[in-house]
Structure 1
Amino acid sequence: MFKKNMFLTVFTAIALLLAACGDDATDGEVGETDSSGDKGEIEIGLNNWAENIAISNMWKIILEEEGYDVTLTMSEKAPIWTGIASGGIDLSLEVWLPTTDEPFYEDHGDDLDMHEVWFEGTGLGLAVPEYFDIDSIDELNDRADEFDNRIVGIDAGASLTRITEEALEEYDLDLDFVVSSEPAMITELDTAYQEGEPVVVTLWNPHWAFSDFDIKYLEDPKGVYGEPEDIYYMSRLGFEDEYPEVIEWLNNWMMDDETLGELMSYINELGEEEGAEKWIDENRDMINEWLGKE
């Protein structure tokens, strides 16, 4: 009798435990987002450009809400392309074509998958404050003393840096090209802007600087910086077969200067995670369209 009663007690305890677990599982399925990471691990490669940081953090949060474990890997463009082509990185969300990233695509295009456009009509070139009364790149040599004979650039591995080096040759510019980083370039721009001084920087859009500063591109009569481009995203070979719903969501993704500019401004003001979360919370309808939940 003792053994029988003990068996019944243990059986009852197990049944109650299973029931409790079942209730928890049910609660998790109703109206809640799966943030467990059980759907798999995804590594996103990004470089230190404002819009790349913004969209990568945005998608990290969205994908984690949908049950994926996401890692962001910061690097230069060349290692990111190599990582995608070798299968070491899953996704990279910013590819400028047909001009800016063409050398990378020529080297690695056969070893990766290029996907849909998510931003149309980019720009890049040399930018100055609106108050600096200069309009074209071919005027720079004559005004060099006014901006300390310097063009302030970003990191050495950027396509914009390579194109600017070509511009120096094409326009025969006798100027110092300071290769630095995006944060250093922005600091130089901000300091000069606050003091009302001339400054020349390499810049691109989409970028939050065009919202925060009254600046303009210099005309490029020789077309060194090319025509407006589109931004695509790319993945390693095989990723689409393993994560078809992620590719479907990303193919639905579309942003413009206004939406992306707002996202970048929030991140610039609040930090990467908090800024991205604020933008996501304010744009749930758009995100639900990307995820097919409308």
Structure 2
Amino acid sequence: MNNFKKLIPALFLGMILLLAACGGGGNDEGSSGDNTDGNGESNGETSEEGTSGEKGEIKIGLNNWAENVAVSNMWKVILENKGYTVDLTQVEKGALYTALEGGDLDVGLEVWLPNTDKPFYEQYKDKLAWHDVWFEGTTLGLAVPTYVEDVNSMSDLKGKADMFGGKIVGIDAGASLMKLTKDALKEYELENYELQSSSGPVMTAELGKAVEDEEPILVTLWKPHWVFAEYDVKFLEDSKKVYGEKEDINWVSRKAFAEDQPQVTEVLNTWKMDDQSLGSLMNVIKEEGDPAAGAKKWVENHQDLVKEWTSAME
């Protein structure tokens, strides 16, 4: 009995410490894992501050083209600010559609229709969900710097392969633009040219170096693209319309995406850009030298436009 009496103070102290540990965590500023203040009210912080991911994960397939890198990173910033986790996965164009069909990706933000991506559309038209236009009036084809004065059309290339070292600097081998260029070489009987596959960044790097040295260069190119703001470049006239007429850019998703993420689907269908808005986004990214940082800066400076797109989430 005496030994029990001696244990009472220790037991009493232990109970006090246990109660303190259970009830005192709410005032510890360093331990809070959510975006609430001491009264349980939201403090207004979003994105990387702790709410990102609470609404699910969006997996976006990213093609390594300037405008695709720009808008994919832009939507990563916007959606993470709204509480989603966004994963960007770089894929070639053909692999994008396969991954969407298999459910490994949710969304692809750049489909050129009705001409450029027609082969993919025909193959997957019943297997994927095809959504609204977000950019109207594209152009694609072969291009040269404007100082290459005696080459203004595809027909002008005949007999001038040596001027360009016999090569055309292309982009990803699986891109529709590359297939169309192969068709154009046959249609215009330009058998002395070799179409070299590379990537969007490699192509623009070679273009930039050639312009700096004022050397002739022949590249596959498309508009919208930041190079038109940076360099004096011209498309070659395509009188046979191998590259087709002006097109629009849509977005595509796996079949059940709209059912799984109706708000995101509505927001992406509300999204619209033009030469000015998309060009400014690409230029900010180029100036920052980092797609994520550039997209974040652009989103911060264009909140009125972003709020217009995301009104369904407000």
TM-score (norm 1): 0.92
Taking the TM superposition and a 5 Å limit, the aligned residue runs for 1:212-291 are 212-270=230-288, 271-291=290-310
Contact 1:154–1:202 (8 Å) recurs in 2: yes
Q: Which residue matches 1:120?
A: 136
Supply the AA of the counterpart residue of 1:89: L
Deviations 1:134-154 (A, max 9, x none): 211001013333222221111
Q: Which residue matches 1:140?
A: 157
Q: Which moved more, 1:115-124 or 1:237-246?
A: 237-246
Deviations 1:106-135 (A, max 9, x none): 111211111111100011001111111121
Local SS of the residue matching 1:70: strand
Deviations 1:142-191 (A, max 9, x none): 33332222211111111000000000000001312222222221122112
Q: 1:27 to 1:148 in 2, by over 3 A?
A: farther
**Over 4 Å off, 4+ runs:** 1-13, 18-23, 25-28
Answer 1 or 2: which has greater helix percent. Answer: 1
Q: 1:94 to 1:9 in 2, by over 3 A?
A: same
- One of 178, 181, 184 as aligned partner of 1:164: 181
Q: 1:291 to 1:186 in 2, by over 3 A?
A: same
Structure showing greater radius of gyration is 2
Supply the AA of the counterpart residue of 2:142: L
Q: Pairwise CA RMSD of aligned residues?
A: 2.3
Local SS of the residue matching 1:204: strand
Q: 1:29 to 1:286 in 2, by over 3 A?
A: same
Local SS of the residue matching 2:125: helix
Contact 1:141–1:175 (8 Å) recurs in 2: no
Unaligned runs of 5+ in 1: none
User: Distance between the aligned counterparts of 1:268 and 1:224, measured in 2?
Assistant: 31
TM-score (norm 2): 0.86
Q: 1:53 to 1:154 in 2, by over 3 A?
A: same
Q: Which residue matches 2:219?
A: 201
Q: Which residue matches 1:31?
A: 44
Q: Which residue matches 1:72?
A: 88
User: Identity of aligned pairs, percent?
Assistant: 49
Aligned-residue offset at 1:15: 4.4
Supply the AA of the counterpart residue of 2:130: M
Contact 1:91–1:233 (8 Å) recurs in 2: yes
Q: Which residue matches 2:75?
A: 59
Aligned-residue offset at 1:202: 0.5
User: Distance between the aligned counterparts of 2:98 and 2:292, measured in 1?
Assistant: 27
User: Distance between the aligned counterparts of 1:107 and 1:212, measured in 2?
Assistant: 37
Local SS of the residue matching 1:180: coil
Deviations 1:14-44 (A, max 9, x none): 4454577795376662432253311111110
User: Distance between the aligned counterparts of 1:25 and 1:256, measured in 2?
Assistant: 45
Unaligned runs of 5+ in 2: 1-7
Contact 2:146–2:233 (8 Å) recurs in 1: yes
User: Distance between the aligned counterparts of 1:234 and 1:287, measured in 2?
Assistant: 20
Deviations 1:44-92 (A, max 9, x none): 0111111111111111111111111111100111111011112111111
User: Distance between the aligned counterparts of 1:45 and 1:266, measured in 2?
Assistant: 22
- One of 79, 84, 87 as aligned partner of 2:100: 84
Supply the AA of the counterpart residue of 1:126: L
Local SS of the residue matching 2:250: strand
User: Distance between the aligned counterparts of 1:288 and 1:28, measured in 2?
Assistant: 23
User: Distance between the aligned counterparts of 2:129 and 2:38, measured in 1?
Assistant: 37
User: Distance between the aligned counterparts of 2:69 and 2:185, measured in 1?
Assistant: 29
Contact 1:155–1:179 (8 Å) recurs in 2: yes
User: Distance between the aligned counterparts of 1:104 and 1:185, measured in 2?
Assistant: 24
